[in-house]
Amino acid sequence: MGGYLRDIECLRMKFVNSTKNGFNGDLLSGTIGTVIAYMLGFLLLPLVTRFYKPEHIGAWQIIFGFIALLVPLATLRFESALVLEKSIKISKILLSVILINTIFIVTSLLFMFFFIGSEKTLILNLEINQDLFLFSAIGIFLQSIFFVFNALIIKHKKFKIQAVGKILRSLSIPIIALFSLLVVDANNTSYIIAGLLAIMMQGLFLFYFLDKKYFKDLFLLKKSEMKKAIIKYKVYPLYMVPYALSQGAIWQITLVSLGALFSASTIGAYTIAKQLVYMPVSLLSTGLRPVIFSYASSAPRYDNEINDYIYKLLINIINISIPFGVFAFFYLPDIINFMLGEGWEEAGEFSRWILISAILAMQTSWLDRMLDVYGRQKLAFLFQVSSDIGLLLILFLCYLFDASSLITIMSMSIFLAVSEFIWLVMMLNILRFKIHVLFNIFFRIAIVTVVLSSLMWLISYFFEKNYALIIEILILSISSFFVYFQIKKDFSNN
């Protein structure tokens, strides 16, 4: 154990000079801020779902999915290059390219809004109208600018500011949506506007704390300099934009398909269920990802200290996520139905199966930016395309065999879980983890899942529901107790 602690201490000392709190201080700031943000949103959600129904949430998800689809085209993913670039001049060039391209995309959408007309398009059971273009244009501009501000915040390791921005955004959507009820009844438009205002408020907050030198004389740069900067970071528009587009396209196609095959309410129920179930995934990814990316980008390639840190994080995440995941599989539908209230029963049914992919995503979601660090963007793109094609095939088969909404969500989740597992194997190989380390990780996942699932099933079978619940909570508590001491043991000197 002394060897591990010495390694972690070396890692801490290596980076402590670049920030006041060092690696673990930034890690803690990002994670705590993210936890607070999601918990506040979690606490306010039952109020929102008492007034807004699944179809209202579904309308916002259609708009936000369209925003997520087109933002990579607007930024060309150069916001990621901003984190790595040391030169202020080249950073300004990248900012200029992002702004010019964003204005072009937004103008094109506004043109479509004004000239297409007010006709409504019906895709099976889903209605699409021209408001999609107006709200998407506004959202793409706001989200693109936010991405730029967020990248500069990460670049300068202002993770506490980033954390407060997340809290502000998580509070803004439900509060604005609820206050709008004083003026109008709950509807699609009021919830969409609340979502757009939340993005704007977070962006303005981050901008206040940025060094304004990046925004001076943005458009006075020479074309030749702009060309050199684009060539230097050409990997982002060439590979990372298609990678992000494929992710956004599949998500948008998935939402539209669910709405077309079933209803807008199905979209709302699915997205809220996924938001709740994936909350721990989001906590991990948004808390760990920027810190891991920031420090790994400044460390030597295949740094053993970074890998050791990643390994310990991964093992402890497995020890936490699988026991709670197995427990949630048995009780999550009842919890979500009680929490969301009448009209949200479908979300409870979906949640159990979404959980399968969420558990695997907890092991992978915070590692994806390491592909940027190791220059493996092309591999990431190819894998994402393959996974997307598979998901589309699952959706097509569900349509072909007239599957119910529950069977469709179940099939999607199982497929995504398999994809996440393959991605984890690929990522650990890129990081050059040794075979026995890989075996230890995968063996732990399999054994813990099988043993705990069997134990939970046996308890539920032999005991009444209330007694079974008490025993299972006791087992979880004991498991958490051991995990806590393992984490303290691994990171006590950091």
Half-sphere exposure of 212 (CA within 13 A, CB side): 3
Residue given tokens 């380390």 in the structure block: 437
What whole-number distance in Å separates Cα of residue 417 and Cα of residue 420?
Answer: 5
User: Does residue 34 fall inside a structural domain?
Assistant: no
Give residue for tokens 């940025």: 210
Domain count, the chain: 1
Is the residue at 299 inside a domain? yes
Residue 376 belongs to a domain: yes
DSSP for 208-253, please give it: HTS-GGGGTTGGGS-HHHHHHHHHHTTHIIIIIHHHHHHHHHHHHH
Which helix (H) or strand (E) is 143 found in, with range?
helix 131-155
Q: Does the pLDDT of residue 27 top 90, yes or no?
A: no
- pTM here is 0.72
- Measure the CA–CA gap between 10 and 228, rounded to whole angstroms: 38
- Tell me: pLDDT of 52 over 60: yes
- Tokens 């139905």 label which residue? 337
Q: Which domain holds residue 475?
A: 281-494
Contact criterion met (CB below 8 Å) for 174 and 57: no
Mean pLDDT of the chain: 79
What pLDDT, on the 0 to 100 scale, is given for residue 31? 65
Whether residue 120 lies inside any domain: the answer is no
For residue 111, what are the contacts with CB-CB under 8 A and spacing of at least 6?
none
Q: How many CA atoms lie within 13 A of 47 on its CB side?
A: 14
Whether residue 392 is contained in a domain is answered as: yes
Identify which of 30-34, 333-337, 377-381 has the greatest average pLDDT.
333-337
Instruction: pLDDT band for 102, please (50, 70, 90 cuts).
Output: very high
Token readout for 269 is 């129920």
Residue 25 in any domain: the answer is: no
Please give the pLDDT value at position 345. Answer: 86
Q: What DSSP line would sit under 342-374, residue for residue?
A: TT-HHHHHHHHHHHHHHHHHHHHTTTTTHHHHT
**pLDDT for 103:** 92
**The token pair that represents 317 in the structure block:** 């995440």
The pLDDT of 85-95, averaged and rounded, is 85
Q: Is 309:96 a contact under the CB 8 Å cutoff?
A: no
Number of H helices, E strands in the chain: 20, 2
What's the pLDDT score for residue 17? 42
Written as six digits, the tokens of 222 are: 């020479």
In the block, which residue shows the tokens 């390791």?
157
Confidence of residue 193 (pLDDT cuts 50, 70, 90): very high
Query: For residue 410, is it within any domain?
Result: yes
* Percentage of the chain lying above the pLDDT 70 cut: 82
Kindly state the helix (H) or strand (E) to which residue 127 belongs, with its residue range.
Answer: strand 126-128
Q: How many CA atoms lie within 13 A of 156 on its CB side?
A: 19
pLDDT greater than 80 at residue 8: no
Q: How many residues does the chain have?
A: 494
Q: Is residue 130 included in any domain, yes or no?
A: no
